[in-house]
Amino acid sequence: MDTSLRYRRMIKLGALISTAGVAMLILFGLILLLFPVTKICEGNCNYLSSAPEYLRQMINPLFLFISLILISSGVFFIRIGNRQLYRSL
């Protein structure tokens, strides 16, 4: 396999990974905008989303963390692929 082809595939893979992360981040923002979070204080404050149950699972820090990790790893693959591609020319 040609090395430049391998690095180009790595760049495309990074673009796909970061696109998936951006889509997850946009979905997270849309859910927050469409279904606002209410604050319930009875001595101890709790935050409750008005989203349906299946969307409420996405409103947590882990979902946001995974989307940010996907974006950063995709950008990492793109940068490493570009660096190695131009180094091999």
- 20: tokens are 């998936």
Is the whole-model pTM more than 0.95? no
Residue 81: other Cβ atoms inside 10 A: 20
Q: 52 φ, ψ to 5°?
A: -60, 160
Domain map of the chain by residue range?
3-88
**Partners of 13 in beta bridges:** none
pLDDT above 90 for 59: no
pLDDT digits (tens, 9 = 90+) for 22-32: 999 999 999 99
pLDDT above 80 for 1: no
